Amino acid sequence: MKRVLQTLAVLAVLGILGGSAVVFGGLYNVSARLGHFPGVPFILHTTFNNSVKRRAPAESAVPDLDAEGMVALGAKHFDGGCKVCHAAPGQERWAIPTVMVPAPPHITEAVQDWHPNELHWIVDEGVKMSGMPYWPATRTDDIWPVVAFLDAVQDGMTGQTYADLTAHPARPEGAPDALPYCAMCHTNSGRSDNPLIPRLDIQPQAYLEQTLLAYADGSRNSGIMHVAASRVTQADLMELAAWFGSQDAAPTTTSEVTDRDMIARGAALAMQGTRDVPACTSCHGPKAGPRAADFPRLAGQSVTFLSEQLHLWRDGTRGGGAKANLMTKAAQDLSDDDIAALSAWFAAQPATR
């Protein structure tokens, strides 16, 4: 027994010496040109597959990926943040990703054999020892549009469809240089038809300035907008806020809700304040007044967007903005029915700044 222990001790010492020689002596060649030893890619890929399948959220957590605007929003984020490595439907990868180790697969290959809940986990968590980053926000609901896009790619999205989804509008004369990138989602006027994307034409410039800065520094929680706002300079963000803040606010409504009782209940909730929390309308309009210039206007926003934001506030996952504590307090006791009613009423109001 003593000899066995001595042998194990010698082997342990030799292992430590060998490991030290590799780590501190530079014996292991880390060159990407040489790649991995035979068999290592299989081990890494198998480990990756099993790790994802073990940790992915339940399939019951997957929302309706065919809901209006989901694929379009996901495609636009992919175009700005992911295409550089994975290319896009109908496109070839450029040279650099093909010589990475491991090489990021073309997106049409990357999505094969994965279920939506597994794709969500991969996009959220990223993959260590590869070039795949994790989602740049703790809020994960805005990953689902990306998953909806990836699911559409898996179903055979064509290059032309992708090009249509990610087209940049022409920049109007006198508009900020950075506008075409933002207009891909928000349009040049700030009025998008996508119910997941907020209208900007109704927002005061002061609110847009503070919001864009919060997105850029990550204090407002959104992986999509953090990436978008961090792609340009602070001066660009101020120019964009001034541009959208100067657009004419078309007095349209976006509510598809026809339940008059629900809308009436939403009106009562919106105008009902407490000692600690003022009425929604006093800060958010309609006709909130100039003193509320750093609050967002809600009249004319889509039901989908409003409902999503109120759920995020209530659940404590939104954050951002100077009035975050006030909104957290205002939303904390709202029920799902309250949120539905408030969203329906604000969406049914004529949009104003």
* Beta carbons of 4 and 12 less than 8 angstroms apart: no
Radius of gyration of the chain measured on its C-alpha atoms: 25
Three-class SS state of 209 = helix
- Residue 184: CA count within 13 A, CB half-sphere: 22
pLDDT of residue 321: 62
Paired tokens of 254: 């976006």
Residue 164: what residue type? D
* Beta carbons of 97 and 188 less than 8 angstroms apart: no
Phi, psi dihedrals of residue 275, rounded to the nearest 5°: -65, -30
127, β-bridge pairs: 132
DSSP string, 122-133: HHHH-BTTTTBP
Nearest in space to 76 (alpha carbons), one of 163, 177, 10, 157: 163
Where do runs of H (alpha helix) occur along the chain? 2-24, 40-55, 70-81, 83-86, 95-98, 107-110, 116-125, 144-154, 159-165, 179-186, 205-217, 223-229, 234-245, 260-270, 280-284, 303-315, 324-331, 336-348
pLDDT tens series, the chain, 353 aa: 778 777 888 888 888 888 888 888 888 888 999 888 899 999 999 999 999 999 999 999 999 999 999 999 999 999 999 999 999 999 999 999 999 999 999 999 999 999 999 999 999 999 998 999 999 999 999 999 999 999 999 999 999 999 999 999 999 999 999 999 999 999 999 999 999 999 999 999 999 999 999 999 998 999 999 999 999 999 999 999 999 999 998 777 777 778 889 999 999 999 988 777 889 998 898 877 777 888 999 999 999 999 999 999 999 888 766 677 788 888 899 999 999 999 999 999 998 87
pLDDT of residue 326: 83
Q: Give the domains, in start order, of the chain with CATH numbers.
A: 40-165 (1.10.760), 260-348 (1.10.760.10)
pLDDT of residue 63: 97
* Beta carbons of 121 and 50 less than 8 angstroms apart: no
pLDDT of residue 179: 97
pLDDT of residue 27: 83
d(Cα 282, Cα 197) in Å, to the nearest integer?
A: 24
Residue 250: what residue type? A
Q: What is the pTM of this model?
A: 0.91
For residues 51, 41, 134, 144, the Cα torsion angle rounded to the nearest 10 degrees is: -60
Burial of 240 (0-12, 13-18, 19+ CB in 10 A): buried
